[in-house]
Amino acid sequence: MSVILYHNPKCSTSRNALALLREQGVEPTVVEYLKTGWDRETLERLASRTGLGLSGLLRRKEADAKALLDAGADDEAILAAAIAQPILIERPIVETDKSAVIGRPVERVLEVL
């Protein structure tokens, strides 16, 4: 099974998700999205596969993400903002052949294994 972890190593929840995957015998492909950034195709795929839409991927604790939500930003505005500021997307996200999920709480990553 292919497992991708969209990861921020400075985030304890993201580190815990990586540890939980490894405890399950899974060595994921780790994508440090703050270094690599996001592209339209990946964000649209994750929005669809999580079932949350693009607005559901936004990290509400980030002021700029909250401003987008409060303004009722459309998908194009969210995509542009997330590509320009990768920190706006929630973490961690785990994607497998089965589905994708935001790992909050961290145990949610088990749902897609």
Residue 103's SS3 state is coil
Of 9, 11, 27, 45, the active-site residue reads 11
Is 11 one of the catalytic residues?
yes
For residue 87, give the DSSP letter: G
Q: If 0-12 CB within 10 Å is exposed, 13-18 middle and 19+ buried, where does residue 56 land? A: middle
Positions annotated as catalytic residues are 11
